[in-house]
């Protein structure tokens, strides 16, 4: 029996997730959106690409959650995108209601699913989904570090004119301008990046990574990135479906690791058939730990605002 993945939100991120899932033949896909006709139309369009592209899965669209029943994974992309000059934090209350409702409905029909969150502000939305679903921490995962690390690797590859596949990197922390690329652990074909670039160039690449999403928003004028975010979310889903046990930087609820409790922060995790199967606690230098603590504090601030405004 084929696996089933629900994608909530049929906008650019959601539709590209559905397309990538179908293209990899990972699972049948149900695309859900509140706008009548949009998920149905996009689902049918993706389905009709199958004979040309050579994939053979069912892709359907719906305005309600009943067809999503018994999904193995639910990817939540629904929400308002950032606009120029808008911080991820501005999105907080607007997207709280969307993620809350999506989680309630998804969990109602698929109580055994794994949740992958993409909606911003990412780390706070993971917390919302976990609070609503009451799922154990292995079943609620945020897509952030995979995307941030991909951006970091891209910029390094451009700088050095080398293959992105030669670059190993790790970005920790919240999904925002407080994220923490760990320069010390960044290598190019095994060579530390500090041996290949001067500090000022590395600092510039780190800064560009932190503002990677905002840079794209600035170019697009309306909307935000969707090709790379969808690729990152699907890599995570694939690791669950195929039990690949990839070690990826993802937003996970910390239970004492790195000195934090009950908040979602980007850390390296092993993702397999059991969702988050292990959280890796990397030994950090004092400066790195201070940056991660600052990033975690920024996430905690958002959670505190949510608690205050929703009375939780």
**What residues are labeled active site?**
175
Please name which of 13, 160, 121, 166 lies closest in space to residue 75, comparing C-alpha atoms: 13
> What is the residue-wise DSSP string for 232-253?
HHHHHHHHHHTT--EEEEEEEE
Distance between CA atoms of 115 and 131, rounded to whole angstroms?
12
DSSP strands (E only) in 23-148:
28-32, 59-62, 73-76, 114-117, 140-142
Element (H, E) at 40: helix 38-53
Burial group, residue 75, by CB count within 10 angstroms (0-12, 13-18, 19+)? buried
Q: Could you identify the residue written with the tokens 């945020």?
A: 142
Structure tokens at 137: 């921490």
Q: Could you identify the residue written with the tokens 């509140």?
A: 34
Straight-line distance from the first to the last Cα atom of the chain, in angstroms, rounded to the nearest whole number = 40
Which residues are registered as beta bridge partners of 213?
Answer: none
């Amino acid at each position: 029996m084929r696996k089933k993945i629900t994608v909530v939100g049929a906008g650019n991120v959601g539709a590209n997730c559905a397309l990538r899932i179908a293209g990899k033949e990972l699972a049948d896909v149900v695309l859900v959106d509140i706008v009548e006709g949009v998920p149905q139309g996009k689902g049918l369009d993706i389905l009709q690409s199958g004979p040309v592209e050579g994939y053979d899965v069912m892709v359907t669209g719906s305005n309600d959650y009943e067809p999503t029943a018994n999904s193995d994974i639910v990817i939540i992309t629904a929400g308002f995108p950032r606009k120029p000059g808008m911080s991820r934090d501005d999105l907080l209350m607007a997207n709280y209601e969307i993620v809350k409702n999506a989680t309630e409905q998804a969990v109602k029909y698929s109580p055994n699913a794994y949740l992958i969150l993409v909606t911003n502000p990412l780390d706070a939305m993971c917390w919302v989904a976990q609070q609503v679903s009451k799922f154990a921490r292995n079943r609620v995962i945020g897509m952030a570090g995979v995307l941030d690390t991909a951006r970091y690797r891209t910029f390094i590859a451009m700088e050095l004119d080398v293959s992105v596949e030669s670059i190993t990197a790790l970005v920790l922390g919240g999904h925002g301008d407080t994220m923490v690329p760990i320069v010390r652990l960044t290598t190019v074909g095994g060579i530390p990046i500090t041996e290949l670039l001067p500090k000022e160039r590395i600092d510039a690449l780190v800064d560009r990574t932190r503002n990677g999403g905002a840079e794209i928003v600035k170019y697009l004028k309306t909307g935000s990135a969707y090709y790379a975010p969808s690729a990152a979310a699907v890599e995570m889903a694939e690791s669950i479906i195929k039990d690949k046990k990839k070690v990826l930087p993802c937003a996970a609820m910390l239970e004492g690791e790195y000195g934090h409790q009950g908040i979602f922060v980007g850390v390296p995790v092993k993702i397999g058939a059991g969702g988050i199967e292990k959280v890796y606690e990397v030994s950090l230098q004092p400066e790195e730990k201070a940056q991660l603590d600052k990033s975690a504090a920024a996430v905690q601030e958002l959670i505190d605002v949510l608690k205050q405004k929703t009375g939780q």
